Amino acid sequence: MLNSLQELINEPEIAQIDDPEEIFTTSEVSWNQYEALLAKLENNPHYHITYSDGVLEIVSPSFKHEKLKKRLATLIEFYLIKKRIKHTPRGSPRVKKQLKKVGAEPDECYCIGEEKDIPDLAVEVIITSGSIDKLDIYRRLGVTEVWLGKKNRLKLYHLREATLSIFEDNYGYEQIVTSELLPELDIALLEQCVFISDQIEAIDAFEQGLKV
């Protein structure tokens, strides 16, 4: 299996993917094979890799995806700084737990308050849906809150560790309207400003909305 994965990465049509996004999924991948692939792609941030119970998914993000996730991160970080909220931006790290047999690379993630090994907030922009449910992975990793950006909307989910069975349809996450990590953040304003094409105008509109 590992040889076929290495051959896949070396294929010209994979190495030179253009917009739009493309997804490759394969199964029966061992943890050691997953780790070996991560090592091979350590200096290639173009690919986002997700692993769950032997299923491996490789995504080559589109320009649209990267633009939206960067804009979202810019506005979130502007808010955190403006409101003087202690935080650590973690970017898009590889977060994994061998015992849980899962690993992911969120588009952006943050520790709110003190820095931790596992981020409190993971943010994903979904342009093309894969076969692995990210909420299942983030629940097993222990991420408190997940924001999924899809079809011009942000869907927020908060982990309910004490009542996992009640929210089993979302793997123990409850869909919420207001972030419990950042309760004063106007999510509708954030959604609106993410899609303003000019970066400066987006930040100006977001800042003005925060003052209203």
Residues 112 and 144 in one domain: yes
Residues 85 and 165 in one domain: yes
Residues 109 and 176 in one domain: yes
Domain boundary among 60, 76, 107: 60
Which pLDDT band holds residue 11 (cuts at 50, 70, 90)? very low
Residues 28 and 75 in one domain: no
| Distance set, CA 35 to CA 2, 6, 94, 101, 139 (Å) | 10, 12, 11, 11, 21
Q: What is the CA radius of gyration of the chain?
A: 18
pTM to 2 decimals? 0.85
Domain boundary among 38, 60, 82: 60
| Distance set, CA 203 to CA 93, 130, 186, 206, 207 (Å) | 25, 31, 14, 5, 6
Q: Which residue has the higher pLDDT, 21 or 6?
A: 21
Residues 105 and 165 in one domain: yes
How long, in residues, is the chain?
A: 212
Kindly report the CA angle at 55 between 52 and 58, in degrees rounded to 5? 95
Residues 107 and 171 in one domain: yes
83-142: pLDDT as tens digits: 999 999 988 778 888 888 999 989 999 999 999 989 999 999 988 777 788 899 999 999
Q: Which residue has the higher pLDDT, 37 or 12?
A: 37
Which pLDDT band holds residue 15 (cuts at 50, 70, 90)? very low
**Stretch among 2-11, 71-80, 189-198 having the lowest mean pLDDT:** 2-11
Q: How many domains does the chain have?
A: 2
Domain that holds residue 34: 2-60
47 pLDDT above the threshold of 90: no
Residues 55 and 72 in one domain: no
Residues 85 and 48 in one domain: no
Task: Name the most confidently modeled range: 19-33, 69-83, 117-131.
Answer: 69-83
Alpha-carbon distance 58 to 31, whole Å? 15
Mean pLDDT of 8-29: 64
Residues 125 and 197 in one domain: yes
Kindly report the CA angle at 209 between 203 and 212, in degrees rounded to 5? 150
Domain boundary among 60, 80, 108: 60
Residues 26 and 102 in one domain: no
Residues 12 and 98 in one domain: no
pLDDT at 30: 93
> Residue 203's domain is classified under what CATH number?
3.90.1570
Kindly report the CA angle at 94 between 29 and 79, in degrees rounded to 5? 145
The answer to whether 104 and 92 are in contact (CB under 8 A) is no
Residues 167 and 73 in one domain: yes
Q: Which residue has the higher pLDDT, 161 or 177?
A: 177
